[in-house]
Chains A and B, each alone.
Chain A
Amino acid sequence: MEQVTEKKDTYTPKEISATRRIIGDRGEYFLRSVEGETMANISACYQCERCTNACPVSIYMNINPHQVIRYVQLGWREELLRSTTIWVCLSCEMCTTYCPNDVDVAKTVNHLRNMAFRSTVPPAEKVLAVFHETFVKELQRFGRVNEFWLVGSLNSHPDVLKEKIKTGALKEELFLGLELLKKGKLKLIPHRSKEMKKIRDICLKETRGTI
């Protein structure tokens, strides 16, 4: 959102400031490839910011949803893969639902998240990235995902453990876990599917062995 009485910035030509970016020619290629894979209508965007206003977690993102679309148009892959945006996105689909141009913003962000997993760019939200990987690992183990095992294996990841000890989240989760156990909300012995091979093959193929 922006007031029409916008702030005036001083301008010094010739000097390229730290923030001034050059628009090169790679935008078109990146845009077309993402658009081709997602069918997300990215080029139709007119930057109305309805997605950013709809998004419940805009404030936790360093690149807002409408800017994600712009960055894709400009071909700024690296910035996007490094962003917090692709990790804090909740996949709540508010952006996509309210887009007047039928831009599938959520799918675009998800696609970037897929790309991030396959790239060497370190995720800006490590724990969230590990969570998704752990979930799929668990899925590959039993075919179903058991909450007790999921949390256990997530928290035994060294990066996650470090982070959660630091923030105190681990302690909280342990107490909560005990509470849940008492209430009978945790199933301790998981079910194992009869078609594990097929499931593992799918996961292996689609994640290209990244996890």
Chain B
Amino acid sequence: MIPLQNNPVGKIMIVGGGIGGIQAALDLSESGFYVYLLDKGPTVGGTMAQLDKTFPTNDCSTCILSPKLVEIAGHPNIEIMTFCELLDLEGDPGHFKAHVQQKPRYINMEKCIACGLCAEKCPKKAPDLFNTELGKRKAAYIPFPQAVPLKYALDPDYCLYLTKQKCGLCKKICPVDAVEFEQKIETFDVEVGAVILSPGFELALTQKDGEYGFGRYPNVVTSLQYERMLSATGPYEGHLRRPSDGKSPRKVAWIQCVMSRDISRNRPFCSSVCCMHAAKQAVLTRSHLPESETVIYFMDVRAHGKGFDEYVERAASGYQVQYRRSMISQLYLNPQKDNLIIETFDHHLNNTQEEEYDLVVLSSGFQPGQGWKTLADRLGVSLNPYGFACGDFDEPVSTSRPGVYVCGVIESPKDIPETVIQAGAAASEASTLLSNSRKFLKTDENKSAGEETDEGKDAEHISKVGVFVCHCGSNIASVVDIPSLLSEIEKIEGVALAEDLMFACSAETQDRIAERIKKHGINRVVIAACSPKTHEPLFRKTLKQAGLNPYLVDMANIRNQCSWVHAKDPKTATAKAMNLIRAAISRAEKLEPLTEETYEIVNNALVIGGGLAGMTAALTIAEQGFEVHLVEKTERLGGFARNLTHTLEGHSPPKLARLLEDRVRSHDRITLYLNSELSEHSGYIGAFKGTITNEQKEHEISYGAAVVASGGKAYQPMEFNCGQDDRVVTQVELAKRLQKDPQWPKQLKSIVMIQCVGSRSETFPWCSRVCCSAAVKNAIAMKEINPDIQVIILYRDLRAFGFKELYYLKARRQGTLFFRFIPEETPVVYDDGGDLIVDFTDRSSHQEFRVKPDMVVLSEGIHPVSDNEKIAGMLKLSRTPEGFFLEAHVKLAPVEFPTAGIFLAGLAHSPRFVDEAIAMAKCAAQQAVKILCRDKMKTSPTFAVVDPDLCSSCLACVRLCPFGAPFINEDGVAQIVPAKCRGCGICPSECPARAISLRHSTDDQTVSEIDALLKKASLDI
């Protein structure tokens, strides 16, 4: 991607406001561009907003999404355009004219204050699409409480006035006169430089299909409906019930691969994510209803992602989720109970078992939404036969139309982290293309906090605390007695206002809080809601908006710590909530206004690792105008890809490596260090310093951000006589042999491949993701040269996810035989008088077999490189027990680390395919660009400070700090570098002279908080 020189428009249109679109919007707006974020519905949020919880952490999906929603809602460089669809695109990259159609909302967005009166009074009910039609909503509606923008809309298919010119009640009662029945469809043009398509997906299963009686039997639901059924904001308010009679199900079954891996329905591909969401839903079901029984009917457990196998294992052994490897044909209804009967053949008992379930969940595959094909045709974006805009292997988010990019499920079925990665990659493409029109971000656009407040007034303050108690829908309010809390809070001295809020985190609520602060002269704020970890940054912004110093807010986590853990004991939950709120009020009174410091940014980057990911990251950063130091340990670039021959889809990774190498070597903004290692690293986000060492010399460098792409390595097996018998080779060795001697398979009669060698074992418990495809690829290659060769693949779960399933099918059609084994019956390979012999047991025919192949090929796993340990130590990064790097958040921050300014890409993160590694590298590079494109950086004001009068220079802090923040200054006393300090609190607690105090967690603040907690509970309801 070369930046355009023709003075391009620095604006990007993103079509589809799901998590992919949101992430791309944030990445671009933080990189100095203006974003139009279109959604055809009334709100952004996409499918992720409909999910209940996300694995593996079982975080509430809305809870991790809504901070992002709030961020885009308030972002000055993002314009959210709801009810909008892109119709057509004219022009060329850099200068597109986008034709947009906007359907009417029938509510004036400027006027609507989301009071909800219209919905309350609306007499007409409509199917609740957000709740997957499991319930009803009014014809005047918001889809969900955290919707962004939080504006009501009228449903033209149901509204009595819009359908029959009757009623009009909402217009009469709207206090702000926002109802506009006369709104019409509008079309207009928008000038943009690039377009990102992230329209998401819909379930492939419809009632028309008749599959498993969906639409015929009331207690058969889709996976997405089940998410809503589990959700606290869903139709059953988080109490798991079944549709027919509202009873809690005792026995729930999941059927996998519905409308997936099904040639007879022309859906021969795998939808990639259903195995994991079924596992998650079963785990959640078991935690909702511990006495329930959960059974998953499946073919292969496709747990090919990082930590996925571990989660499935936890589901099976920890939560007793039963896994049954059996595809059932149809569901039968027990008409008396509306239960569903599943018939399966039991091989051990040799009979057909009838099992009855209260509820059956169909894990439906995905398909592109309505209208996508028309749009793609108009835009000239070519699609695969199933309507997906599959990216190329070297340009995974590009389409056939230059300047138009894709991300998320519309590219191919994928999960949230891979969508987020592609969103970052798509943003990087647009950002590179338009980089000559980037507006560099100035920190004075966001004035540092302290400057805005009148500190003098604060110094001698009499605290006036405003307390806001959140209902969190029903999350808190259904357990904790909020009215009692409020009346109790009002009695506390110093409290100027106590008020409850439906959703404290929703964008519109922030205005209300700010308004209250101003009106009541509040100078300290307590929010009693959820976790400060996710939501404190939001409320700090709100304080700033209200003209208060953002650090004058404290939170009481009455959801996680009260209503959730004491759900069955509302009295205790309420009493505890009161205690926590009292403590928070007490602490809030002692809070001091804090100011943020700023410092200059070093506008270049360090990339560790010269493989495909490293080179891609370096190029992505360099092409956007920033200097890059690229460090490679070995004497050549290309990394893991040099070992490969071609991919399943027929592309050549070594060729790509050579192309990238040429570009890297000729790029004048990339300084390449071969045979080199990073030997020292210090500093902090925006201003790192490091030393690159090779045999000859050391280079001192400085950089504002770093990308770790240290790669991975192929496992060298010792199992199955590998290394001793030269007839036993690895897939990489086989592929090389095939490349060197293409006619060689003609000399062979029979070959056996064994999967999961160095993967999914006790020693190496992770799935290496790529080996199933490697085996399928080599099987196809051999069969194409010699159709008579017998190829036998021994596998455990064939994880050919997404469109790789098509190649699995091709291999089967070519006659490759796939036999499934279990770890307890691992195949045995041995030499018998010169004959190579493989003994194994097939689990589907329950037959023991023996083969005498010419060769045995082991599908070796991908392992982390040993250097990771050193890098992790030097850069203070965490790793997984397996030795891969551990990202900041599995779902929404897959390329970030807890240590700011350092990003992660490629095999260093986890085993992955080339296209996935490339996307990840682009995403990581874009995160670096988000730092480099600023002039200054702000520090967190919550750092530790040393009182020089008390310091005895004992060096305790210097030794203990994990981030290297303290040092002994010229005066011989300890000093702490604010930008490095992460505010962890180790040094203040260890300092023997008690010379260190942590701003925002001072002794004074903590003691008063504890004192308040220890006061006898006054709320005795």
Is the CB–CB distance between B327 and A45 below 8 Å? no
Contact status of A46 and B263, CB under 8 A, knowing A22-B849, A22-B851, A58-B352: no
Verify if A174 is at the interface (C-beta below 8 Å from B).
Answer: no
Cα of A50 to Cα of B262 in the assembled complex, Å: 12
Verify if A67 is at the interface (C-beta below 8 Å from B).
Answer: yes
Count of chain B residues with Cβ under 8 Å from any Cβ of A? 60
Q: Which residue of A lies closest to B347 (CB)?
A: A2
Cα of A2 to Cα of B297 in the assembled complex, Å: 10
Is the CB–CB distance between B263 and A100 below 8 Å? yes
Verify if A167 is at the interface (C-beta below 8 Å from B).
Answer: no
Is the CB–CB distance between A53 and B344 below 8 Å? yes
Contact status of A58 and B345, CB under 8 A, knowing A20-B848, A53-B326: yes
Instruction: State how many angstroms separate the Cβ of B211 from the closest Cβ of chain A.
Output: 10
Is the CB–CB distance between A44 and B263 below 8 Å? yes
Is the CB–CB distance between A47 and B820 below 8 Å? yes
Verify if A38 is at the interface (C-beta below 8 Å from B).
Answer: no
Interface centre among A6, A48, A54, A101 (most CB of B within 10 A): A48
Is the CB–CB distance between A6 and B850 below 8 Å? no
Verify if B346 is at the interface (C-beta below 8 Å from A).
Answer: yes
Identify which of B825, B832, B843 contacts A2 (C-beta below 8 A): B843
A111-137 near B? 1/0 per residue, CB < 8 Å: 000000000000000000000000000
Verify if B401 is at the interface (C-beta below 8 Å from A).
Answer: no
Instruction: State how many angstroms separate the Cβ of B605 from the closest Cβ of chain A.
Output: 46
Verify if A106 is at the interface (C-beta below 8 Å from B).
Answer: no
Contacts of B842 in A (CB 8 A): 70
B316-351 near A? 1/0 per residue, CB < 8 Å: 100000111111111000000000000111111011
Is the CB–CB distance between B261 and A100 below 8 Å? yes
Cα of A32 to Cα of B788 in the assembled complex, Å: 11
Instruction: State how many angstroms separate the Cβ of B57 from the closest Cβ of chain A.
Output: 24
Verify if A52 is at the interface (C-beta below 8 Å from B).
Answer: yes
Cα of A149 to Cα of B262 in the assembled complex, Å: 46
Identify which of A21, A43, A53, A94 contacts B345 (C-beta below 8 A): A53
Identify which of B817, B828, B849 contacts A21 (C-beta below 8 A): B849
Is the CB–CB distance between B327 and A50 below 8 Å? yes
Tell me which residues from 238 to 266 in chain B have a Cβ below 8 Å from any Cβ of chain A. Answer: 257, 261-265
Contacts of B344 in A (CB 8 A): 1, 53
Verify if A189 is at the interface (C-beta below 8 Å from B).
Answer: no
Cα of A74 to Cα of B849 in the assembled complex, Å: 11
Contacts of A67 in B (CB 8 A): 844-845
Q: Which residue of B lies closest to A48 (CB)?
A: B327
Contacts of A59 in B (CB 8 A): 345, 350-352
B832-856 near A? 1/0 per residue, CB < 8 Å: 1000000101111101111110000
Cα of A56 to Cα of B376 in the assembled complex, Å: 46
Q: Which residue of B lies closest to A74 (CB)?
A: B817
A1-35 near B? 1/0 per residue, CB < 8 Å: 11110111101011011011111010110011000
Is the CB–CB distance between B264 and A2 below 8 Å? no
Q: Which residue of A lies closest to B827 (CB)?
A: A11
Verify if B812 is at the interface (C-beta below 8 Å from A).
Answer: yes
Interface centre among A17, A32, A46, A67 (most CB of B within 10 A): A46
Tell me which residues from 764 to 795 in chain B have a Cβ below 8 Å from any Cβ of chain A. Answer: 788, 790, 792
Verify if A142 is at the interface (C-beta below 8 Å from B).
Answer: no
Is the CB–CB distance between A70 and B845 below 8 Å? yes
Contacts of A44 in B (CB 8 A): 263, 809, 812-813
Is the CB–CB distance between A53 and B328 below 8 Å? yes
Contacts of A148 in B (CB 8 A): none
Interface centre among A11, A13, A17, A32 (most CB of B within 10 A): A11
Q: Which residue of B lies closest to A62 (CB)?
A: B350
Is the CB–CB distance between B345 and A64 below 8 Å? yes
Is the CB–CB distance between B851 and A50 below 8 Å? no
Verify if B956 is at the interface (C-beta below 8 Å from A).
Answer: no
Is the CB–CB distance between A11 and B844 below 8 Å? no
Q: Which residue of B lies closest to A20 (CB)?
A: B848
Instruction: State how many angstroms separate the Cβ of B852 from the closest Cβ of chain A.
Output: 8
Is the CB–CB distance between B790 and A27 below 8 Å? yes
Cα of A49 to Cα of B264 in the assembled complex, Å: 16
Verify if A155 is at the interface (C-beta below 8 Å from B).
Answer: no
Contacts of B850 in A (CB 8 A): 16, 20-23
Is the CB–CB distance between B343 and A14 below 8 Å? no
Contacts of B322 in A (CB 8 A): 3-4
Verify if A159 is at the interface (C-beta below 8 Å from B).
Answer: no
Q: Which residue of B lies closest to A8 (CB)?
A: B824
Q: Which residue of B lies closest to A70 (CB)?
A: B845
Verify if A83 is at the interface (C-beta below 8 Å from B).
Answer: no
Instruction: State how many angstroms separate the Cβ of A34 from the closest Cβ of chain B.
Output: 13
Contact status of A20 and B839, CB under 8 A, knowing A1-B347, A73-B817, A100-B263: yes
A6-B822, A46-B812 known; 11 other A-B pairs, CB under 8 Å? A1-B346, A20-B849, A25-B790, A43-B814, A44-B263, A46-B798, A48-B299, A48-B326, A53-B343, A53-B344, A64-B345
Spell out A's residues near B (CB within 8 Å): 1-4, 6-9, 11, 13-14, 16-17, 19-23, 25, 27-28, 31-32, 41, 43-55, 58-59, 64, 66-67, 70-71, 73-74, 94, 98-102
3 nearest interchain CB pairs? A54-B329, A1-B326, A1-B344
Cross-chain pairs A/B with CB under 8 angstroms, 5 sampled? A6-B824, A23-B849, A46-B808, A48-B326, A53-B328
